[in-house]
Amino acid sequence: GAVVSQHPSWVICKSGTSVKIECRSLDFQATTMFWYRQFPKQSLMLMATSNEGSKATYEQGVEKDKFLINHASLTLSTLTVTSAHPEDSSFYICSAWRTGMGSPLHFGNGTRLTVT
Amino acid sequence: GQNIDQPTEMTATEGAIVQINCTYQTSGFNGLFWYQQHAGEAPTFLSYNVLDGLEEKGRFSSFLSRSKGYSYLLLKELQMKDSASYLCAVATGGGNKLTFGTGTQLKVEL
């Protein structure tokens, strides 16, 4: 079946540094990928929609200059958390649809980011 | 805006049946999804409804009423491993953006 791979699974970084998270669709092409963030005991909140070959679409309240998204190919989207702060510590999950209505949204395994 | 509501917590007994409700008010509707999520893990797909009615899949069933903006997930023959968070999500827009509800934390007890 379709698989979405996310890397790294967890990362610890110091405050002020940047962290890049990769999301790959392994056996299908994804023109659109989605990035979610989940704080403990809360639901998934959509951060942005990553569009291959064009600019990402950010949800209200998400800083586009802080959360840089690049979707350079049909199988890869990256999220870079720039100048990370402890409040950015969260579970980041990417997802992608296979083409065709009704196919489930496939999720990566998520990245646990801890900023110290 | 999008508004999706679920109960925060539910408790049920092993072997029993539990129904988790979800109500939604969204701009557009392309389908409703249910996901299961264990702590620290990514969500896993359970079911999808786009037309009114009941979809059955083994121990899990999901129901949709578009006119009422209502869905439920029915879990039968509960097992301890079913203890997890259950997320209701609605797809909208041309890009099928998925908006999640707050999630229902289900605890299965002996």
- Return the pLDDT at B56: 93
Q: Report pLDDT for A57.
A: 93
Whether A43 and B43 lie within 8 Å, measured CB to CB: no
What is the structure's pLDDT at A106? 85
Instruction: Tell me how far apart the alpha carbons of residues B91 and B100 are, in angstroms, rounded to a whole number.
Output: 9
- Local confidence band at A103 (pLDDT 50, 70, 90 cut-offs): low
Q: What is the pLDDT of residues A6-23, one digit of tens each?
A: 999 999 999 999 999 999
Record the tokens describing residue B40, joined without a space.
């620290």
Overall average pLDDT of the A19-47 stretch = 91
Predicted pLDDT of residue B89? 94
Q: Name the band, by pLDDT with cuts 50, 70 and 90, for residue A101.
A: very low
Residue of A nearest to B42 (CA): A109
CB A81, CB A67: distance < 8 Å: yes
Minimum Cα–Cα distance from A6: chain B residue: B42
**Predicted local distance difference test score (pLDDT) of residue B40:** 86
Q: Which residues of A touch B33 (CB under 8 A)?
A: 104-105
Residues of chain B in contact with residue A32, where contact means CB-CB under 8 angstroms, are 95-96
Interchain proximity A43–B40, CB inside 8 Å = no
For residue B96, is pLDDT > 90?
Answer: no
Residue ranges of chain B whose CB lies within 8 Å of a chain A CB: 30-31, 33, 40-45, 48, 50, 87, 89, 91, 95-103, 105
Distance from C-alpha of B84 to C-alpha of A82, rounded to nearest angstrom: 32
* Confidence check: pLDDT of A102 > 60: no
| Residue among B38, B36, B4, B37 nearest B21 (CA) | B4
Count of CB atoms situated within 10 Å of the CB of A110: 23
Contact A101 B31 (CB under 8 A): yes
Report the range out of A86-100, B11-25, B29-43 with the highest average pLDDT.
Answer: B11-25
Residues in chain A whose Cβ is within 8 Å of chain B: 32, 34, 36, 41-46, 49, 91, 93, 95, 97, 101-102, 104-110, 112
Could you tell me how many helices (H) and strands (E) chain B has, helices first? Answer: 0, 11
pLDDT above 90: residue B98: no
Structure tokens that stand for A57 in this block: 């679409």
Residues in B closer than 8 angstroms to A91, CB to CB, are 40
Best of A44, A55, A60, A103 to disrupt the B interface by mutation (most B CBs within 10 Å)? Answer: A44
Would you say A113 and A11 are in contact if contact means Cβ atoms under 8 Å apart?
A: yes
Q: Binning pLDDT at 50, 70 and 90, where does residue A1 land? A: low
Per-residue pLDDT, A99: 61
Predicted confidence (pLDDT) at residue A89 exceeds the cutoff of 50: yes
In A, minimum Cα distance to B1 occurs at A60
- State the pLDDT confidence band at A2, using cuts at 50, 70 and 90: low
Q: What is the mean pLDDT of chain B?
A: 93
**Upper half-sphere CA count for residue A48 (Cβ side, 13 Å):** 25
Confidence of residue A41 (pLDDT cuts 50, 70, 90): confident
% of chain A residues with pLDDT over 70 = 93
